[in-house]
Amino acid sequence: MGLEGSDTWSFMRDFLDKCGSGGCAVVDGGFATELERHGADLNDPLWSAKCLISSPHLVRRVHLDYLDAGANIIITASYQATLQGFEAKGVSREEGEGLLRRSVELAREARQVYYDRCTKDSCDFLSDDRYWKRPILVAASVGSYGAYLADGSEYSFEFFYMLYVCDRGDYVDAGADLIAFETIPNKLEAQAYAQLLVEEDIRIPAWFSFSCKDETHVVNGDPIQDCASIADSCSQVVAVGVNCTPPRFIHGLISSIKKGTSKPIIVYPNSGETYIAETNQWEKSSGVVEDDFVSYVGKWRQAGASIFGGCCRTTPNTIRGISHAIRTKQLQPQ
């Protein structure tokens, strides 16, 4: 899907209008948790991306689980997928490029399976409210440089910064609808991505989502307003927001982001638990049970966000609750 001139500005707003529900859309939720629930062993530096090699059928299944739950945007299993990471596992550069493309293809296949179910001439499907035809985008996930290190660095910014750019033309060739630059930890990396989009003339839109440590700062201490301004200045960026951040910070972050951009705001926080990089475990802190997540989302909608989902440790049940609230008009501003 190419972009020309003013099409860049209108891409996400047009999509939100087509979604209905007062201009809201739903992103999917945690991926690794669901892969593990289906039996995958992710004790590996490649994390979810390991399944692109070992069990692509599980990747497709998780995408379908989130489509069944009502997602309008599904994010590829490529957050931890890099050519450097694949090469460290003995995968050639050519094979690694193929796996990047495969991550997009698996999401597109899941979308087609879902659409086929929507139109299937079967009473079983037609009577099942999981299946209704709606706009669905495939977002190719790009993790930060810290994600490539596979040591939790993107959550704490405890790494020496080096410019990390892979050839993401593979995503374009495979048919991704947009690129999701996720868990961005600072202004410097956001500037690098913005520069990449312009200099490489990447012809599909992107969103920038930042990992934050409180209501006004990303994890390294840069103001989120400044980070949002960087995204705002890049015409290829069609939405700005926050991911993998505790829910308790999201309302304030939306207010801070609005000071730096007028672009649609996307929020998909984690469950509220804390990731401990040393043990590769999640520690209970102020976790949010799935039944409570929707009540947060209503407040985030009123604060100005329009795209909602979940990150680490959220599930299809989380997304189903958000989707139901949107479809029944529970999240519209008063």
Q: Which residues are annotated as a binding site?
A: 244, 311-312
Binding residues for Zn(2+): 244, 311-312
Q: Helix, strand, or coil here: 178? A: strand
Q: What does DSSP say about strands 274-276 and 281-283: parallel, antiparallel, or unpaired?
A: antiparallel
The number of residues making up the chain comes to 334
Identify any residues that bridge with 241 across adjacent strands, giving them in sequence order.
209, 266
Q: What does DSSP say about strands 274-276 and 206-210: parallel, antiparallel, or unpaired?
A: unpaired
CB burial readout 64-94, b (16+ within 10 A) else e: bbbbbbbbbbbbbbbbbbbbebbeeeebeee
Identify any residues that bridge with 15 across adjacent strands, giving them in sequence order.
none
Task: Name residue, tokens 């599904």.
Answer: 74
Phi, psi for residue 182 in degrees, rounded to 5: -110, 155
Residue 266, CA distances (Å) to 7, 121, 228, 230 in order: 19, 35, 12, 16
Q: Which of 288, 234, 214 is CA-nearest to residue 30?
A: 288
Give the Cα separation of 91 and 75 in Å (integer). 23
The DSSP result for 232-284, as a single string, is: HT-TTEEEEEEESS-GGGHHHHHHHHHTT--S-EEEE---S-EEETTTTEEE-
Using only C-alpha atoms, what is the Rg of the chain?
18
Residue 37, CA distances (Å) to 48, 70, 315, 316 in order: 12, 19, 10, 12
Give the Cα separation of 261 and 310 in Å (integer). 22
